[in-house]
Amino acid sequence: MDPEIAELITKECERQVYGIDLIASENYAFEAVIEAQASLLTNKYAEGYPGKRYYSGCEYYDEIERIAVERAKRLFGAEHANVQPHSGSQANQAVYLAALKPRDRVLAMDLAHGGHLTHGSPINFSGIFYKFAFYGVNRSTEVLDYDEIESIAREYKPKLIIAGASAYPREIDFKRFREICDEVGALFMVDMAHIAGLVAAGIHMNPTPYADFVTSTTQKTLRGPRGGFILCRKEWSEAVDRAVFPGIQSGPLMHIIAAKAVCFKLAATEEFREYQRLIVRDAKALASSLLDRGYRIVSGGTDNHLLLVDLRSKGMSGLKAQKMLEKALIYVNRNLVPYDDKPPYITSGLRLGTPCVAARGMTECEMVDIAKMIDHVIRNNGDQAAIEDVRKDVVDMCRRFPIYDWTTK
Query: Interface with ligand DSN by CB under 6 A: which residues?
Result: 25, 88, 116, 166
Residue 328 belongs to what H/E stretch?
none
Q: Which residues of 261-298 are buried (b: 16+ CB within 10 A; e: fewer)?
A: bbbbbbbeeeebbebbebbbebbbbbbbbbbeeebbbb
Rounded Cα gap, residues 157 and 138, in angstroms: 21
Q: Are 178 and 188 in contact (CB under 8 A)?
A: yes
153 or 279, CB closer to ligand DSN?
Answer: 279
Rounded Cα gap, residues 399 and 262, in angstroms: 28
Helix axes 384-400, 364-379, angle to 10 degrees: 170
Residue 61 is a catalytic residue: no
25 or 206, CB closer to ligand DSN?
Answer: 25
Q: How far is the CB of 302 from ligand DSN (least distance, A)?
A: 15
Q: How far is the CB of 388 from ligand DSN (least distance, A)?
A: 29
80 or 260, CB closer to ligand DSN?
Answer: 260
The active-site residue, picked from 53, 71, 220, 334, is: 220
Q: Report strand pairing: 213-217 vs 187-191.
A: parallel
116 or 178, CB closer to ligand DSN?
Answer: 116
DSSP H helices in 293-335:
318-327
Rounded Cα gap, residues 242 and 6, in angstroms: 39
Q: What phi-psi label fits residue 157: left (phi over 0), alpha (psi between -120 and 50 degrees) or beta?
A: left
Residue 45 is a catalytic residue: yes
Q: Which DSSP symbol is given to 245? A: I
Beta bridge pairs of residue 335:
349
Q: Are 290 and 377 in contact (CB under 8 A)?
A: no
Q: Which residues, 6 or more positions from 205, have their beta carbon under 8 angstroms from its beta carbon?
A: 171, 172, 173, 174, 175, 199
115 or 207, CB closer to ligand DSN?
Answer: 115
288 or 304, CB closer to ligand DSN?
Answer: 304
Residue 183 is a catalytic residue: no
- The backbone torsions φ and ψ at residue 401, rounded to the nearest 5 degrees and listed phi first, read -130, 75
Residue 31 is a catalytic residue: no
143 or 165, CB closer to ligand DSN?
Answer: 165
DSSP H helices in 267-381:
270-292, 318-327, 355-359, 364-379
The active-site residue, picked from 73, 131, 226, 293, is: 226
Q: How far is the CB of 350 from ligand DSN (least distance, A)?
A: 13
Q: How far is the CB of 88 from ligand DSN (least distance, A)?
A: 6
Residue 223 is a catalytic residue: no
Rounded Cα gap, residues 157 and 151, in angstroms: 10
The active-site residue, picked from 21, 65, 191, 310, is: 191
Q: How far is the CB of 116 from ligand DSN (least distance, A)?
A: 6
Q: How far is the CB of 400 from ligand DSN (least distance, A)?
A: 27
Residue 47 is a catalytic residue: yes
- The backbone torsions φ and ψ at residue 23, rounded to the nearest 5 degrees and listed phi first, read -80, 120
48 or 318, CB closer to ligand DSN?
Answer: 318
The active-site residue, picked from 26, 44, 45, 171, is: 45
Q: How far is the CB of 271 from ligand DSN (least distance, A)?
A: 25
The active-site residue, picked from 18, 26, 44, 47, is: 47
Q: How far is the CB of 136 from ligand DSN (least distance, A)?
A: 17
Closest-by-Cβ residue to ligand DSN is 25
Largest CA distance in the chain: 63
Catalytic residues: 45, 47, 191, 217, 220, 226
